[in-house]
Structure 1
Amino acid sequence: MNWGNGIVLVFVVFVAIMATMVTICMKQDDLHLVTENYYEEEIKYQEHIDKVSNSLESSKEAMSFDAQAKMLDLNLPVGAKGELHLFRPSDARMDKKIDVNIKDTEVNTVDLNSLSPGYWRVKLSWERDGVGFFEEKKIDL
């Protein structure tokens, strides 16, 4: 066999492998998107980005964590409403959601002693005067 035949044989084998791979990919009918409503989810994500941006523009942090007392202080103004999500990445059964409605500046603490020790993500989403805010803090109990 000479060089010319070898090169042609390599090209033919390559084309056959590519055609086989394309055929296998086209026969798959169980292709799933991450979500059915992709564009609606994208708009929601843009709203989330806007909330994070609003939080970064504010002058103070919305949450502060005291590791010794295992208390979470919410530094929100009176009239703020939202949700506090205590997220445990290792076990979704431990997740908790707490509604936040700031009516008084004195009572803005959340006791975290009932949570099991470990790594937690605390996500605070709130709204004030029609403007949404979001802040996330990673804590270790």
Structure 2
Amino acid sequence: MDWGKGILLTIFAFVAFIMVLVVISVKQDDIHLVTENYYEKEIKYQEQIEREKSASTLEREVLVYDGASQSMVLDLPVGAKGNLQLFRPSDARLDQELILEITEAGKTLVPLKNLKPGYWRVQLTWSEGGVDYYQEKKIHI
């Protein structure tokens, strides 16, 4: 075989390899965004910053993960209303959202035993006394 045929075969092999990669990437349907409406959330980001600042001024830790009981411990006052979001970055189909309304004094336990083991982002947005708050924890179950 001479040089011309070798170079030509190398080019054909490279083009075939690239075509295989393109076909694989086009057929892949298991790609999830962290959130579907990310543009709306980006616009409201300043409000999010204000909520985080408000939460940092509190003298208590509101969102705590208890690894022994595999649950989130929420330290919220009676009358607080909020939203607890459980995000699984590797698979958006496992995401969960819980609406909270605290009616009893003391700490509230949210069991997480039914969640798939792995990395989770837990986001708590709540309102108490007319002020909005936000706190986030990254946990590994």
Same-fold call, TM cutoff 0.5: yes
The Cα shift of 1:128 comes to 0.9
Contact 2:70 2:112 in 1 (8 A): yes
Structure 1 residues 89-130: Cα deviation after superposition (integer angstroms, max 9, x where no partner): 000000000001001024611000000000000000000121
Q: Distance in 1 between matches of 2:87 and 2:108?
A: 20
Matches within 5 A, 1:1-20: none
Query: Are the equivalent residues in 1 in contact too, given 2:86–2:96 (CA < 8 A)?
Result: yes
Cα distance in 1 for residues equivalent to 2:112 and 2:89: 16
Q: Per the alignment, in what secondary structure is the counterpart of residue 53 of structure 1?
A: helix
In 1: Cα distance, 2:67 partner to 2:50 partner: 30
Q: Name 2:118's counterpart in structure 1.
A: 118
- What corresponds to 2:35 in structure 1? none
Mapped to 1, the partners of 2:107 and 2:98 lie a distance apart of: 15
Identity %: 42
Structure-2-length-normalised TM-score: 0.69
| TM-score in terms of structure 1 length | 0.69
- Please state whether the residue corresponding to 2:117 is helix, strand or coil: coil
CA distance in 1: counterparts of 2:107 and 2:61, whole angstroms: 17
Is contact 2:77-2:106 (8 Å) kept? no
Secondary structure of 1:77's partner? coil
Cα distance in structure 2, aligned partners of 1:95 and 1:105: 28
**Which stretches of structure 1, 4 residues or more, deviate above 3 A after TM superposition?**
none
Pair 1:78 & 2:78 matched: yes
Distance 1:123 1:107 in 2: 17
1:60 aligned counterpart, secondary structure: coil
After superposition, the Cα gap between the structure-2 partners of 1:106 and 1:60, relative to the gap in structure 1 and judged at 3 Å, is closer
Unaligned runs of 5+ in 1: 1-33
Counting only pairs closer than 5 Å after superposition, residues 1-141 of structure 1 correspond to structure 2 as: 35=39, 41-42=42-43, 44-106=44-106, 108-141=108-141
Unaligned runs of 5+ in 2: 1-37
- Structural RMSD (CA): 1.8
Higher radius of gyration, 1 or 2: 1
Across the two proteins, how many residue pairs are aligned to each other?
104
The letter of the residue matching 2:60 is: K
Other structure's SS at 1:114 match: coil
